[in-house]
């Protein structure tokens, strides 16, 4: 019931459909109760007194009742369907909205397959129950109440004798519910594990095939498949025991009625017509009891699914805008970024950054260098408020970013990540992703700056080329260049290049950077790179090691002092004679490399 209460916001606005669906079902049920009475009338008032002239009239009434009942059943289905689908629609939208607001911290642990199964299979179970199951349970209660009342009005003693098995039926049903609910919960989880395995396998199919791990994947899948099968078999055997037990108990009522009622008819304390009507009415009570298992099944599936859907809806949002957060107006943002004594650790991990201080005046270029895992990307993640800083402060133009509306903060920043994600859409749409109302000229200009225009034009459909899921069909460097164009078109105050040119050759990287210079004049840029050539023009280069800043300064300053920067430089420029190193530029290096290869 708690699940039902918590989902109220989704079905309550559709209550007119709920009421209509219940009303028509009740009408259909009430009309069903006319049959036993017609039967009683037919036997006691028509057949026995031989009033056969009433038969056509009676037949006409039966046809009308049947037709009217069918119409009511249709309307119940119609409104029930509307209700279920509208509730599912609302829930689907709410879940999708929630997925957009959940923070990076949630996605660090989330499993795509599990989320997909919540949005599909679990929603389906909710749709079924809210649309039909709920009305049917109510109908069941009404059938029992109406049928019982009618039986009591005919012969109360016989009613009590006949319905002696009802408490047993109710007991069996409740016991069954207690055991089947955990089974369903496990089944839903097992299903989500299966979906996760399939989803990961399809996403990582290239890795699987390259490492010839198909057999391992098949085994991994069969283990989960077996777990799911076991859950299904467990639930099926519970059903297998429940149904015969229910049927046996329910039929006992019919047997008791035949004995007790038959004796009453023989003793003339009950009319034959009443006895036949009674026999017909008893199914009004036994029938729903029989269906109790089905309804319980429906309800428990709904409950298990509802818990999973609510679990997602109630998920904590780690990063959200404060009340009365400042909404930045782009024309006023200058882009002065400061990190002051920032120390940060990911949940359940040791510090990824310790006492970080950075002052990036508006328009400056900050280079970040360091071994893998040194904390470079974490600095960027914190600036974008992917995670909340608990120790120290990060400010933009003197305002703590925790006081700035998250969306408006992120609108000022355009990141290009090491791993490029492209949507399965046209190249044009991928480039224009972060902006609204953009012209083809602007798209092409950004692509030219990112050195992507030429290769796009060589594709048969040019900017209309639809890239496969995650950019399949393009090379790593081509994907990166599209991602750079996507960032540039946003015209941001702060540009972040997180190893953004790692997949393009040095010459292209140099050309792209020349384009940046033109566009980024007056904007703050953070460049994370492993190549010194990408950073050497930065206003300040920060060298990180295990989350600590170990060196900082300009290229010239850092090269002049012993330390990790000079070591990296020496390794990367090892091909050059000592005198050339300081003057070598990217083109020189490429030419030198080419001559070595030749
Ligand atoms: N989402 C995360 N959850 C938990 N720990 C993380 C997460 N991201 C990074 N870390 C950890 O934080 C530390 C710093 O990682 P970070 O990604 O900032 O390094 P990096 O310098 O950018 O490395 P690379 O050059 O390989 O990208 C590492 O120890 C890493 O394992």
Q: Both 46 and 193 in a single domain? A: yes
Within-domain flag for 120: yes
Q: Both 449 and 561 in a single domain? A: no
pLDDT at residue 193, as a whole number: 85
ipTM of the complex: 0.95
Least-confidence region, from 35-44, 203-212, 282-291: 282-291
Given 491, 524, 545, the domain boundary residue is: 491
User: Mean pLDDT score of the chain, rounded to an integer?
Assistant: 84
Confirm or reject: Cβ of 109 under 6 Å from ligand 1.
no
pLDDT at residue 516, as a whole number: 65
Q: Both 475 and 504 in a single domain? A: no
C-alpha span between 521 and 322 (Å, rounded): 32
Confirm or reject: Cβ of 379 under 6 Å from ligand 1.
no
CB atoms within 10 A of CB 364: 17
Dump pLDDT digits (tens) for 379-415.
Answer: 999 999 989 998 999 999 999 999 999 988 998 898 8
Dump pLDDT digits (tens) for 247-282.
Answer: 888 888 888 889 999 999 999 888 888 888 888 888
| Owning domain of residue 510 | 325-412+494-598
Q: Give the position, in ligand 1's atom list, of the atom nearest the Cα of 377.
A: 22
Q: Both 472 and 525 in a single domain? A: no
Q: Both 476 and 399 in a single domain? A: no
Task: For residue 404, list its beta bridge partners.
Answer: 326
CA of 345 to the centre of ligand 1 (A): 10
Confirm or reject: Cβ of 375 under 6 Å from ligand 1.
yes
Given 441, 474, 491, the domain boundary residue is: 491
CA of 377 to the centre of ligand 1 (A): 7
Q: Both 582 and 435 in a single domain? A: no
Within-domain flag for 339: yes
C-alpha span between 400 and 394 (Å, rounded): 6
Q: What is the mean pLDDT of residues 47-70?
A: 87
Q: Both 434 and 305 in a single domain? A: no
Confirm or reject: Cβ of 559 under 6 Å from ligand 1.
no
Q: Both 40 and 133 in a single domain? A: yes
**In sequence order, what are the residues at sequence separation of 6 or more whose Cβ sits closer than 8 angstroms to the Cβ of residue 322?**
402, 403
Given 313, 342, 358, the domain boundary residue is: 313
Confirm or reject: Cβ of 103 under 6 Å from ligand 1.
no
The domain that holds 538 is classified in CATH as 3.40.50.300
pLDDT at residue 584, as a whole number: 45
In the chain, the number of structural domains is 3
Q: Both 587 and 510 in a single domain? A: yes
Q: Both 73 and 133 in a single domain? A: yes
Within-domain flag for 308: yes
Q: Both 166 and 72 in a single domain? A: yes
- Predicted TM-score of the model (pTM): 0.73
What do you get for the CA distance between the two ends of the chain, in Å? 76
- Could you identify the residue written with the tokens 């809806």? 313
Among 494, 322, 493, which Cα is nearest to 404's? 322
The domain that holds 233 is classified in CATH as 1.20.1560.10
Least-confidence region, from 31-40, 192-201, 282-291: 282-291
Q: Both 487 and 501 in a single domain? A: no
Within-domain flag for 319: no
Dump pLDDT digits (tens) for 189-235.
Answer: 888 888 888 888 888 887 888 778 888 888 888 998 998 999 889 88
């Amino acid at each position: 019931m708690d699940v039902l209460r918590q989902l109220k916001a989704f079905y309550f606005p559709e209550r007119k459909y709920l009421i209509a669906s219940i009303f028509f079902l009740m009408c259909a049920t009430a009309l069903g109760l006319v049959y036993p009475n017609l039967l009683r009338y037919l036997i006691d008032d028509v057949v026995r007194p031989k009033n056969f002239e009433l038969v056509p009239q009676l037949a006409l009434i039966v046809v009308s009742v049947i037709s009217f009942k069918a119409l009511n059943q249709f309307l119940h289905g119609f409104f029930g369907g509307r209700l279920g689908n509208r509730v599912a629609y609302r829930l689907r939208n709410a879940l999708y909205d929630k997925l957009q607001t959940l923070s990076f911290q949630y996605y660090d642990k989330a499993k795509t397959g599990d989320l997909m199964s919540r949005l599909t299979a679990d929603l389906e179970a909710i749709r079924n129950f809210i649309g039909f199951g709920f009305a049917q349970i109510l109908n069941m209660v009404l059938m029992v109440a109406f049928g019982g009342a009618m039986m009591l009005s005919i012969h109360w003693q016989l009613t009590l004798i006949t319905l002696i098995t009802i408490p047993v039926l109710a007991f069996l049903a409740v016991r069954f519910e207690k055991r089947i609910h955990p089974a369903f919960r496990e089944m839903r989880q097992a299903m989500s594990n299966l979906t996760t395995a399939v989803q990961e396998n399809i996403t990582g199919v290239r890795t699987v095939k390259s490492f010839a791990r198909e057999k391992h994947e098949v085994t991994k899948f069969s283990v989960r498949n077996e777990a799911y099968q076991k859950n299904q078999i467990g639930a099926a055997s519970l059903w297998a025991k429940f149904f015969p037990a229910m049927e046996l108990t329910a039929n006992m009522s019919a047997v008791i009625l035949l004995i007790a009622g038959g004796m009453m008819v023989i003793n003339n304390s009950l009319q034959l017509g009443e006895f036949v009507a009674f026999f017909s009415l008893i199914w009004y009570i036994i029938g729903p009891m029989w269906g109790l298992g089905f309804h319980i099944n429906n309800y428990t599936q709904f409950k298990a699914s509802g818990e999973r859907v609510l679990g997602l809806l109630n998920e904590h949002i780690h990063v959200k805008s404060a009340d009365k957060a400042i909404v930045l107006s782009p024309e006023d943002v200058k882009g002065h970024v400061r990190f002051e004594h920032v120390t940060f650790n990911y949940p359940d991990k040791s510090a990824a950054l310790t006492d970080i201080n950075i002052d990036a005046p508006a328009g400056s270029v900050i280079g970040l260098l360091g071994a893998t895992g040194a904390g470079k990307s974490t600095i960027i993640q914190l600036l974008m408020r992917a995670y909340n800083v608990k120790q120290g402060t990060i400010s933009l133009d003197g305002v703590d970013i925790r006081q700035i509306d998250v969306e408006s903060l992120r609108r000022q920043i355009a990141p290009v990540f090491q791993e490029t994600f492209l949507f399965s859409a046209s190249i044009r749409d991928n480039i224009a992703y972060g902006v609204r109302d953009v012209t083809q000229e602007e798209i092409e200009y950004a692509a030219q700056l990112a050195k992507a225009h030429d290769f796009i034009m060589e594709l048969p459909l040019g900017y209309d080329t639809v890239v496969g899921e995650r950019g399949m069909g393009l090379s790593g460097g081509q994907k990166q260049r599209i991602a750079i164009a996507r960032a540039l078109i946003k015209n941001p105050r702060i540009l972040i290049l997180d190893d953004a040119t790692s997949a393009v050759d040095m010459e292209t990287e140099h050309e792209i950077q020349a384009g940046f210079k033109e566009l980024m004049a007056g904007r703050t840029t953070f460049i994370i790179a492993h190549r010194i050539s990408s950073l050497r023009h930065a206003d300040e280069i920060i060298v990180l090691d295990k989350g600590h800043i170990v060196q900082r300064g300009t290229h010239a300053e850092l090269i002049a002092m012993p330390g990790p920067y000079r070591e990296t430089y020496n390794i990367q420029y090892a091909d050059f004679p000592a005198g050339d190193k300081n003057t070598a530029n990217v083109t020189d290096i490429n030419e030198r490399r080419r001559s070595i290869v030749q």
